[in-house]
Amino acid sequence: KLDGLTIVLTYENGELVKAVTRGNGQIGEIITNNARMFKNIPVTISYKGRLVLRGEAIITYSDFNRINEEIPETDAKYKNPRNLANASLRLYDSKKASTRHLQFKAFTLVECPKMPKTVEESFHWMEKQGFTVVEYKKVTAFTIKETITDYFEKEVESYTFPTDGLVLCMDDIAYGASLGVTNKFPRNSIAFKWQDDSVETTLTDVIWSPSRTGLINPVALFKPVEIEGTMVTKASLHNLSYLSLLQLGYGDTI
C-alpha cells in the first residue's frame, strides 16, 4: 500500500491519451502532460485495445530530501513525500515536473477487453506492457501471517519510497467482483496499516484551530520529532473532552 497519490491511465490504440487523479473518487484532475514526464510511465505500449489501469504516483525519500534542500524557506518545505507528489502532479510546467523524478506503480487493471482471470495474471500482463507494478506475494489462509511478518514487515524498512500498509485481495477477479461493495470499499479486499512508530517529545503549547466543518479544535504543539522520515511539530487533540482526558500540561513528555 504505497503512500502517494492514486492516478488512472487510459490508453487507446497503444498510446497514452489521458491521465487523471482520483480526486474525490468520482471527479479527478487531468494531469496527462505531467504523467508523460514520469520516469517509468510508457507513452506507447504494444497492446492496441482500450486499456485503463490504476496505480500510485510516488517520490522516493532521496528525491524528497533533495528537493526540500533546494527550498530555503523552512515554512515552504514539503512535509512528506506524499505532499510533494501531490504538488508535483499539479505543476503547470511539465519540464519542472520531470525534475521531481515521479514514479508510477500500477496496482489495478481496471478495463481491458481481454481481462485476465486473476490478479496475479493481471500483474504479469501489465509488466509485459512495460509497467512497473507494486510488489506482491500470492498467499493462502495458511501463509498470510508469515508472509506479512517474515517478509513484508522486514522488507519495508529498506524501501526507498514510503508505504503505509498492505492490501490483501481475492486473486479470482470475477469472484471478487461478485462479492459487491460497501458504501466506500469493495468487499474483495482488506487494507492493513503498519503498526505505528512510537517516539517521545515534549509538549510546548496547545492552540485552537478551525476544522474543515467550522468546529474549533485543540491542537498540540511540541518539540520537532522525526517520524518515518518526516519532521512533525503538531497533532490534533480532536476535541475538548479528549484534551481533558489526557490531562496534558506544558512541559509534559508525550
**Cβ–Cβ < 8 Å for 49, 32:** no
142: which residues sit within 8 A by CB, 6+ positions away? none
As a whole number of angstroms, the distance between CA 132 and CA 100 comes to 18
111 vs 53: CA distance, rounded Å = 7
Estimate to the nearest angstrom the gap between the alpha carbon of 233 and the chain centroid.
22
With cell 481481454, the residue in question is 114
Cell 517474515 belongs to residue: 150
Q: 1, 18, 77, 234: which one is catalytic? A: 1
DSSP 150: I
Would residue 1 show up in a list of annotated catalytic residues for this protein? yes
Q: Would you say 8 and 53 are in contact if contact means Cβ atoms under 8 Å apart?
A: yes
Sign of CA dihedral 124, 125, 126, 132: positive
Cell of 236: 490534533
Q: Within 13 Å and on the Cβ side, how many CA atoms surround 128?
A: 8
Give the catalytic positions in this structure. 1
